[in-house]
Amino acid sequence: MIKHKRTTIPILLFIGPAVLVLTIVALFPIMYALFCSFWNWHLHRSTLREFIAFTNYINLFRDVRFLKSLGLTFLFTFLTVGGTIVFGFLLALLVWKPFRGKNLALALMTIPMIMTPVVSALIWKVFLFEANVGLINWLLSLFGIRGPAWIATSPWAFVSIVIVNIWFMTPFVLLIIEAALSGLPKETLEAAAIDGAGYWKRIHYIVLPMLKGTILFILIFRITIDYRTFDIIYTLTGGGPAFDTQLLSLWVYNVALRTFQIGYANAGATVMMVAVGLICFAILVVATRERRERWLSK
């Protein structure tokens, strides 16, 4: 290995600009959000601005609507992360063995993830979930079931956003697990098969343990991304009916841009950020040190 004497200048030249821009566009706004959260700050009435220390935070935990958003967000994240991992894993097993047209099949299965979320949500809303002429209720009517008004009534609105998000994100899990499966050592699996281990036994005792690192990676990805879901829900339900699908991102958006309480909204956003940070931290702590190392510094 060649030792370079000077590394300061190359670091500044190569990494400096990116770090500087990230600081301006990401770090500084977070600081600013923290700052705002200690103020009673109305978006359009600048005369009423006053420093109120932690009052916003105290109010948050008395705010039924905020607590409901928090609970709904956890439930939504739990359901969609679980759903996508189960479906993604089963699909990956399905396409594990090579077959003719596998690449095309994978390409087509990737499409939900590629499509503009706003557009997908709109299609689901207008053509599939629509109460009277929607396809889902038409299909149900073939079996003599009268389908609900999906988007407009509880709990179906919540069910709808979960369904659409699982549809949207399953390909992500599929692709990652598919790649991980094709990287598994064939010899081990063949040896187990010869020893008489059945299909599901091989999956349970050999494949799943080998995929642990991958599943950790998927968990972090899926949790953080579902936790912040905005576009799909905003388009599908707008948070309704009766705030039953108002997840945290929508809560922050509505408080900031509908009631203009910017300070309060920023306090909510801060709590949202800290909560997901703690969840990720907990997952990384539970994961073994070796995996954590590999993750942070490949």
Partner 1 sequence: MKSISTQFHRRLMIRFSKLARNVAIALAIAIALFPFFWVVLASFKNHHDLMKVPPVLLFRPTLENYQVVTQEGFLHFFNNSAIVTLGSVALSIALGVPAAFGLSRIPFRANRFVMLLVLSVRFMPYIVFALPLFLIMANLGLVGTRGGVLFVYIIINLPIIIWIMRAFFDDVPRELDEAAYLDGASRARVFFQVVLPCALPGVSTITILSLIFAWNEYLFALILSGRDAQTLTVGLTRFLGGMETSVRWGTLSAWAVAIVAPVVLMSLFVNKHLRRGFTSDIG
Query: Closest CB to partner 1 among 158 and 167?
Result: 167
Q: How far is the CB of 214 from partner 1 (least distance, A)?
A: 6
Instruction: Please report the DSSP string for 215-234 in residue order.
Output: HHHHHHHHHHHHHT--HHHH
Q: How far is the CB of 295 from partner 1 (least distance, A)?
A: 6
Q: How far is the CB of 173 from partner 1 (least distance, A)?
A: 10
Q: How far is the CB of 175 from partner 1 (least distance, A)?
A: 5
Query: Closest CB to partner 1 among 4 and 289?
Result: 4
CA distance 120 to 142: 25
Q: How far is the CB of 42 from partner 1 (least distance, A)?
A: 12
Query: Closest CB to partner 1 among 58 and 111?
Result: 111
Q: What's the angle, vertex CA 183, arms to CA 181 and CA 189, rounded to 5?
A: 70
CA distance 179 to 192: 21
Q: How far is the CB of 105 from partner 1 (least distance, A)?
A: 6
Q: Give the distance, in angstroms, between the CA of residue 92 and the centroid of all CA atoms in the same chain.
A: 20
Conformation bin of residue 260: beta by default, left when phi > 0, alpha when psi is -120 to 50: left
- Residues of 229-245 as b/e, b for ≥16 C-beta within 10 angstroms? beebbbbbbebbbebbb
Write a three-state SS string for 139-192. HHHHCCCCCCCCCCCCCHHHHHHHHHHHHHHHHHHHHHHHHHHHCCCHHHHHHH
Query: Closest CB to partner 1 among 79 and 136?
Result: 136
